[in-house]
Amino acid sequence: MMHTTDARRLLQRKLDSLLRTGQILLESSADTSRIMRNMKRAAAYLGLPEKNLHIYIDYNMLMVNIHNTELSFSKFQRCDKHGINFTAISAVSKLTYRAANENYSLAQYEAALDEIANRKRNYSPLLTAVGAAFACGGFCIQFGCDWVAFLYATLAAFLGFRLRYRLIEFGINIYMAIACAAFASTVVAWLTTYLPASWTSTPLHPLLACALFIVPGVPLINFVDDMLDNNIQTGLVRAANTMMMMIAMAFGILFALKFCLWAFNFQPDIMGISMVPHHNYWEYAIAAAISGMGFSMIFNIPKRLLWVAAVGAAIAVCTRNLVSLQPDELCQFSLGWGGVLGSLAASVLISLIMLRMAHRVHAPMQILAISSVIPMVPGVLMYRSLYSFLMMTRTETQLVDMMSLAGINGINASLMIFCIALGVAVPSVFAKRYIGAKKQQRFFETLKAQRREDESFDWEQF
């Protein structure tokens, strides 16, 4: 029998490993349900009995507690370095299965966690900025701009993204960095309006798309997903963080427009810029694929999955447009049911496709689906809603008009985001018990077959 002191040390190491597993997932922007599933799977591999184990997940804190009839051990882990890292999420998910399949020792599991946590990102900062820039250009095409304006939006987004990266690297507050990046991108987009008018017929559209790399699409989807799974507290924190980012973005754009008005008497009708696209479906598909790959690079998706994100984004955007747009000469078969139903139909289709694709490419379904639906996130509607609130004046008529626009844009954006998140969560919502039960059964069968007696201990003896 293991000595009590050794048993306690081993228990502490296992709890540390369990917390490290959850920390990597939480700081990589995994949804709360995925964090809980992976931590429970890791706990089973580590030999920690579920009936005696309690896991608490907050946005900035993880806690685990294990107890018996006499003693109770609790450990906490602070989580501060939040970002988006789909490669880390995928790697941790695979690790929990691989540790059971290959009968990892605790030292091997700890080393694997260290490797995941310290792994360099798949894309350099410069390459990520290029991806983000083209993603914004792809958004601009979806709003109806031509391909010259696409290049203008790409240039403005690239410079803004690089500025934000440098400011955060320097230690500037993240919300201030967002505001500065939005300001810079908007000013550059405004400067492109002075280029020859014959080059583009949509010179103002880059103003709408140049800062959309800031829109926190993944936290928005995670927020809705957490609320649907009854993880209310974590979901509300994600929502508050998202709102702060959007407010910082709106302030940056607003100050840029005020600066242009004050210095050069430039006052574009932001709310009047048409967002109805007039392109062929192959152009939608190309623009969506560009946006899907660009945002996937920001999210640090594995390189081998970029093509999946591109194809998924093209399918999602074309499906949404087919359902939502009014029929015209270029889109004769469109149904005209509106953006809300279009977003829901597209995200449901993508989630079902990616549920099947996940087994072929060996990656979590959620990261494939989210990478595909991000180009549908209504960032411009969210921005226009906040812009309307910020531009309210004391004139009664203008006040009513701006409040009306803010409300309409805000409601439409909220409904679209909810439908996108609901569509991505469809497999979990409607088949969670069936899918989860099969995976859990296979995992525990493997664990039972591979478990080595010398790697376990009777923790009740501590």
* Whether the Cβ atoms of residue 6 and residue 460 lie closer than 8 Å to each other: no
**pLDDT tens column, 2-57:** 566 777 888 889 999 999 999 999 999 998 988 998 998 899 888 888 888 899 99
Round to whole Å and give the CA distance between 368 and 17: 27
Round to whole Å and give the CA distance between 151 and 128: 17
- Residue 433 tokens read as 């018990």
Round to whole Å and give the CA distance between 316 and 323: 11
Give yes or no for residue 247 having a pLDDT over 90: no
Q: What was the pLDDT predicted at 328?
A: 63
Q: 75 has which bridge partners?
A: 64
- 3-state SS record for 127-188: HHHHHHHHHHHHHHHHCCCCHHHHHHHHHHHHHHHHHHHHHHHHCCCHHHHHHHHHHHHHHH
Give the DSSP H or E segment for 112: helix 106-118
Give yes or no for residue 313 having a pLDDT over 80: yes
H helices then E strands: how many in the chain?
Answer: 17, 3
Pairwise pLDDT comparison (409 vs 295), residue with the higher score: 295
Q: Out of 134-138, 190-194, 280-284, 290-294, pick the least confident.
A: 280-284
Give the rounded percent of residues in the chain with a pLDDT score beyond 90: 32
Pairwise pLDDT comparison (365 vs 134), residue with the higher score: 134
DSSP label at residue 336: -
Q: How confident is the model at residue 268 (pLDDT cuts 50, 70, 90)?
A: low
Give yes or no for residue 353 having a pLDDT over 70: yes
Round to whole Å and give the CA distance between 346 and 462: 54
- Residue 213 tokens read as 């790399």
Give yes or no for residue 447 having a pLDDT over 80: no
Residues 278, 279, 280, 282: is their CA dihedral positive or negative?
negative
| CA-derived radius of gyration, the chain | 24
Region 163-171: what's the mean pLDDT? Answer: 92
What's the order of all strands across the beta sheet hosting 72-78?
53-57, 61-67, 72-78
Round to whole Å and give the CA distance between 260 and 249: 17
**pLDDT tens column, 199-220:** 888 888 888 888 888 888 888 8
